[in-house]
Chain A
Amino acid sequence: MRLAKKLFSSKKLYDLPGTEKRFVEAMRENAMFHYAHCEDYKRILDEAEYDPSKISTLDDIIDLPFLPTLYFKHHVLQSLPDKKMLIKATSSGTSGAMSNIGFDFSSLWLGLKMVIRVGKYHKLWSLKPQNYIIFGYQPTKENNTAVSKTALGFTFFAPAKSRTFALEKSPSGYKLNWERVEKALAKCAKSHLPMRTIGFPAYTYFLLKDLKERGVHYQMPKGSMVTLGGGWKQFYAQQADKKEFYALVKDVLGIDEDHVIEFFGAVEHPILYTDCRCHHFHIPCYSRIFIRDPDTMRPLKNGNPGLINLTTPMLRSAPILSVMTDDLGVIHDEPCDCGLSTPWLEIIGRVGVADIVTCAAGAEKYLKDE
């Protein structure tokens, strides 16, 4: 993992050309490691007649067989023994099936370095205690979902004065406790300390909309932030126009648009993407993204929509170095007003069709799941 460490020690978070050599080398090191330690991964590369030791350019990484997230939902892949896994994370399971990915110490260490650098760049670190409102699950022993873990993790960017969780466990599963959230918001507005909300964009959006309809408006203390993570999930159809969303945040919480920050990441690709002040997910030096044509699986030129293929050499514990998501996206390389010249990823939505109409037995459920 020497070369991965080198990549994750890069000082310039968004310098892609300057880190390309390091990235390619770390990918080769990572691919060779998994090829040697994960039988199933070796089989996949062998079947594709792919030799990981020959990786020497980004084009070689394009040719490296990718694994769809669906594959991780059906199979557990690991390159280290169970006892080395400090954490097991599962995807949040929009449908029934979930991916199980283990994280060992060295992978987590790289993750920590990444989080520190990303936090610094995006000015997320603060010594001032904050009141946190988390639109997510309260982590429990049984709840391994990465979303709940990262949500809790975010509360360490700045010391927590208080933490309020919107989803609470009840005998019939998790349910939203609106009353508790509203009470906490009212309290935050009166506090002299900043407030930070963390959670699913959809929940945040629906909560704010609900508050607005009831005529509730707050002026949150200076430095307050709305942070969003976990994707829009099954709510893509209702995905609010981003401008409308920022206007809603301003209207209900009195927080300016530049204090609304969205994160993006996945259990199968635990890289922390953070949007810039223009709300673009620039690609950090730890990963490279390819957009592929669904009909040929070949990469498309920037600017064209296709399947999002995420690559990173971060993990030693599991062969997630090249993962195909269920999302469609575009890579933009037009200049961004935030000053960064690296490309940024726009996520368009999940694959599939919205509002499907069918009467074939089982089709409705099948199309909704996965």
Chain B
Amino acid sequence: MILYRGELYENSRQEELIARLKDDLWTPFSEGKALDRDKLIEACDTLATRVLGGEYDDIVKPLLEMLSISEEEFQSMAGLFRKEGLKYKCEIELCDEERIIDGKIRRKRMPLGVLMHIAAGNVDALPAYSVIEGLLAGNVNILKLPMGDSGISVKLLSELVAIEPSLKDFIYVFDVPSTETETLKSLADLSDGVVVWGGDMAVRAARDLTEVNTKVISWGHKLSFAYAEEDCTDQELYDLAKSICLTNQLLCSSCQGIFLNTDSREKQSAFARRFFEIFKKASSDSHPADYGMRARNAINLYNEKLERHVTGNDILNEDGVSVIVTDDPELKLSYLYRNVWVRRLPIEKVISLKKHKNHLQTAAVLTSDPEKRKKIEEALTAAGLTRITTAGHMSRPVSGESHDGTYALREYSRIVEIEIS
């Protein structure tokens, strides 16, 4: 489905509509029609109310089921589209709308212009959310739908235009396959910025797609973990385990494993055994993990055991959860779906994580000692982490929170300075 100036079209019209795009795209700028942010926020709020009221349950419910998103998580996700959430976000991210510098320069924030969003399919309403962020900063937005899109993004955005028709010149949605690089290039050429969501491959592809004079804003995939002291409480370990079971470790912010502040293998093993027992309990308190993934991990773990003579790893494995105790201190992806590693990383070596640069995201800190917590927080942020949370909140969405160490709306803006004559 294509959304073009508020109208829905079949994909067969794509070529013709893209050819027309260059004449239509700049209309809001040439006619001096800035986007009215208050109206946008009102429209988003109306839409969120309708979604939460069950008006789109025929599409929403199967999606939540498929992605195993709980009603509670869904409520908090939808809350990001509500008036209070969006207003708060703008207040924080766009606090510097206009000011006078040095008494003679008028500085103001303006939209970047045209943003092209290359969305990933990892969270279904995400493509629409990305466009709404672009709109909040005042941009005209071209959305390239992810492969296998469920249709919910077009649905939400076309509803948004129906609620607030003045948005029609600011939203374009196309269904161009990622393989049609020429078409994507032509869309990127028309854009001031390209926003890309996805893994390293997707980010690289977006960079290849763009000319040097196009800004690339990448929301890439990240790795997250927990950092623990032995003095952490069982409740903290349970909360962490529960969040691991809830996200199946598939999110940027999901915990892949636990670094323990120690250099003793003995302490590491004892800690792993302690966590393992709690982990099993948390897993049995959660929805069972997917059968196919359990089967896959059963083979991986069996193989891990056969390879123990090479790796020196200890594998604790029962009831569909596992903990691997390993000697190397590297930050790595886990086997996912309730399988974590436990590694030793003394606090003075936390800085070694810095080599992962932009792949770092969230770390949960587990300790019952506030002094230690403070030190750990300092070490982790110095190493490059951008979110530090408590044990159970690694993946909780919060309105007004920054995104991977920056504010999306500022990335979608430019600062303009005009000397006062």
Contacts and interface: CB of A to CB of B under 8 A. Distances in A.
A294 B298 contact: yes
Contacts of B224: 360
A349 B302 CA distance: 20
Contact of B250 (A71, A74, A356): A356
Given A68-B303, A358-B336, A360-B256, 13 more contacts: A68-B299, A71-B303, A294-B298, A295-B319, A328-B295, A351-B299, A352-B296, A358-B221, A359-B222, A359-B251, A361-B252, A363-B250, A363-B336
B121 interface: yes
Contacts of A349: 292
Contact of B220 (A74, A361, A367): A361
A364 interface: yes
Interface in B299-317: 299-300, 302-303, 306-307, 309
Contacts of A44: 306
In terms of DSSP, what is the predominant structure of the interface of chain A?
mixed
B306 A361 contact: no
Given A359-B252, A361-B200, A67 B67 contact: no
Nearest to B300: A70
A360 B336 contact: yes
Interface residues of A, number: 34
Interface in B236-258: 249-252, 254, 256
Contacts of B223: 360-362
Interface in B180-214: 197-201
Contacts of A297: 298, 302
Contacts of A355: 148
A295 B318 CA distance: 8
A44 B197 CA distance: 44
A354 B148 CA distance: 12
B351 interface: no
A360 B299 contact: no
Decide if the interface of chain B is mainly helix, strand, loop or mixed: mixed
Given A356-B250, A357-B121, A362 B302 contact: no
B67 A363 contact: no
A311 to B, nearest CB: 16
The 5 closest A-B pairs by CB, nearest first: A351-B296, A294-B295, A294-B298, A358-B250, A361-B221
B292 A364 contact: no
Interface of B: 67, 120-123, 148, 197-201, 220-224, 249-252, 254, 256, 290-296, 298-300, 302-303, 306-307, 309, 319-320, 333, 336, 359
A210 to B, nearest CB: 17
A307 B295 contact: yes
Contacts of B320: 295
Nearest to B307: A74
Nearest to B305: A47
Contacts of B294: 294-295
A346 interface: no
B302 A353 contact: no
A361 B122 contact: no
A349 B122 CA distance: 23
Contact of B292 (A67, A353, A366): A353
Given A359-B120, A364-B221, A351 B292 contact: yes
- Of the candidates A43, A328, A364, the one having the most CB atoms from chain B within 10 angstroms of its own CB is A364
Interface string A331-355: 0000000000000000001111111
A294 B319 CA distance: 10
A356 B293 CA distance: 10
B316 to A, nearest CB: 15
A351 B335 CA distance: 13
B108 to A, nearest CB: 34
15 contacts: A67-B306, A68-B306, A297-B302, A307-B295, A324-B302, A350-B292, A352-B295, A353-B290, A353-B293, A356-B250, A357-B121, A358-B221, A358-B250, A362-B333, A363-B249
A365 interface: yes
Contacts of B256: 360
Q: Most chain-A CB neighbours within 10 Å: which of B67, B122, B224, B300?
A: B122
A294 B302 CA distance: 10
Nearest to A355: B148
A324 B290 CA distance: 20
A51 interface: no
Contacts of B291: 294
- Interface centre among B197, B298, B307, by most chain A C-beta atoms within 10 angstroms, is B298
B204 to A, nearest CB: 13
Interface centre among B198, B251, B292, B295 (most CB of A within 10 A): B295
A360 B292 contact: no
Contacts of B296: 326, 351-352
Contacts of B303: 68, 70-71, 74
Nearest to A367: B336
A246 to B, nearest CB: 27
Contacts of A359: 120, 122-123, 197-199, 221-222, 250-252
Contacts of A326: 296, 299
A361 B220 CA distance: 8
Contacts of A70: 299-300, 303
Interface string A42-62: 011000000000000000000
B386 to A, nearest CB: 14
Given A295-B294, A360-B333, A367-B336, A43 B250 contact: no
B405 to A, nearest CB: 15
Contacts of A351: 292-293, 295-296, 299
A43 B307 CA distance: 11
A350 B223 CA distance: 26
A363 B221 contact: yes
Contacts of A68: 299, 302-303, 306
A307 B249 contact: no
A360 B252 contact: yes
A67 B197 CA distance: 39
B252 A307 contact: no
A295 B289 CA distance: 12
Interface in A219-271: none
B185 to A, nearest CB: 21
A68 B296 CA distance: 11
Nearest to B294: A294
A357 B295 CA distance: 18
Given A70-B300, A295-B320, A357-B250, A364 B199 contact: yes
